[in-house]
Every structure is written in structure tokens, then in C-alpha cells.
Amino acid sequence: MGETPYREYPAPHDLRRFVECFWTIRTRVPEEERTTQLVLPDGCMDVIFDLGAPTKPRATAVGTMTRPLPVEVVGSVHLFGARFRPAAATAFLPLPARVLTDRVVPLDDLDGWRSEELAERLGEARCDSERVASLSEALRTRLDEGAGRIDPVVFRASEHLLTKGGRGRVDDLADWSGIGRRQLERRFLAAVGVSPKFAHRVARFREVVSLMHGPEPISLSCMAHVAGFADQPHMTREFNALAGVTPAAYRRSISPVHGVG
């Protein structure tokens, strides 16, 4: 699988608590070289602007994913998006996160987004730094209106979970959060789109993917140990469930198109 030009940009300081990054993919793939890239679950939600659409720019919201999403890459590809931190997207997308889980919906279907006008500005921008600035401005407006929709308990719990790399138990996370397990599960579904148990799995999965994309080679058995799996077969089962391929197969065909949803 060929490398697709993929770049990430940090969010401005005032948005960094809520926006994990801005990202872009820009390439041209001839018809005879069309390929499929895997978009992997990462516990996040995104807004994506398709600036290479043949007619007019299109904007979509991508909910938290529980399974890999295969995306066909062919023709002129130019995507620009923002990836929200877990539990932060509700400030920008006025729906419970569970409504969008495993779904891709037009951004215009969500109240308050003037997505066509915004997509045109992004498409006309001279460079990615201008796109980051334009989308940041739109997100600040959404944040001013929707910050109160963020569940502070789940927001902090999600940050804690990622910091620990998915290690520990749901009961431990509930105790750390100061609320009961059942309440934590209900609030996770509303704010993140998945259960805290699934969020644990994804956080640990993200750690393995990060190790694979790291600068130093590392054995699969060592990855399993570092990420807190019982053993390598345990890691393989979990990785296969979330990525649709084994860790070894993914590493052989590694692609930077990951972490959307």
C-alpha cells in the first residue's frame, strides 16, 4: 500500500484542549493505481472538508468509530479536517455523540454550521496555515455557543484514560471519576459515543499504532508488553478486531491514513 501524503498541524493554543489536531491529505491517484486505505478507530470525532470534490466542496461529520473504515483513494484527493479530543466534540456538534457513532453525516444536517461557505473559504485558501486559521475561527464560534455541552467528568476521564494508555479497569476509572460505573457508562455513550470499556480498548490500540509509527523498530512481543496486553496473542486478537488486520499485516502495509473517528 503506497504512502498517502498526510500531515497534521497543532491547534492554536486556545483550542488545544478540545482539538487534537488539524490534518490534511492531498494527492492524485490514477485510476489504474486506485487503492484502499484503512481509517482506524481512535475514540475521536472529526469534521472533514472534501476540497477535491468534482462539483463543489463537501463537508461531513464523522462519529466515533468502533470498526475500521476502508476508504477508496482514486483521482484528485484533497481533504482537510479537524479531529476533536474524546468528549470534546459535543461542543462543536450539537448532538449526543452516540447518535453519530459509526456514521458519516453531512455537516449541513447539524444546526449552526454554514459548511458550504466555510468549505469554499478553505478551498480558496493559499496554504494549510490559512486553512487552519479559517477553521479555527469557525470552531471558536461553535465553542462559544456549545462549551456548556461538554461533560466535564467524562472529558477529564477521557484525558486520564489516554494518559494511562488504556490500562486499568472501568471500575478504576469510575472510582477516579467519582461516579458510579453505570452512570459513567451512560455519560460516556452520550459524550464520547462508545462505552468506557470500549474507550479503554481503543486507547490501548492507539498506543500500539503509535509504536508502529514511531521512529524506532520494536518487536510485536515488546509492543504487547509496553501497551499492557497479557501477551502477544491477546494484542493480536484486539488489534484484528479494531483494525480488521493483524498487527504484522498492518505493519507491513502501514499507512498514515489513520485516526479519523
Rounded mean pLDDT of 8-27? 95
Decide which of 5 and 61 is more confident: 61
C-beta of residue 122 within 8 angstroms of C-beta of residue 131 = yes
161's enclosing H/E stretch is helix 152-163
Angle among Cα 202, 99, 190 to the nearest 5 degrees reads 65
Look-up of cell digits 486478537: 237
The whole-model pTM stands at: 0.88
Partnered with residue 169 across adjacent β-strands are none
pLDDT over 90 for what percent of the chain? 69
Partnered with residue 38 across adjacent β-strands are 70
Q: b or e along 185-200 (b: 16 or more beta carbons within 10 Å of the residue's beta carbon)?
A: bebbbbbbbbbbebbb
Q: What is the pLDDT of residue 28?
A: 85
Decide which of 1 and 9 is more confident: 9
Cα separation of 79 and 24, whole Å? Answer: 5
The pLDDT confidence band at residue 225, using thresholds 50, 70 and 90, is very high
Nearest residue to 44 via CA among 10, 26, 19, 72: 19
241's enclosing H/E stretch is helix 232-243
Nearest residue to 61 via CA among 91, 32, 100: 100
Residue 22 above 50 pLDDT? yes
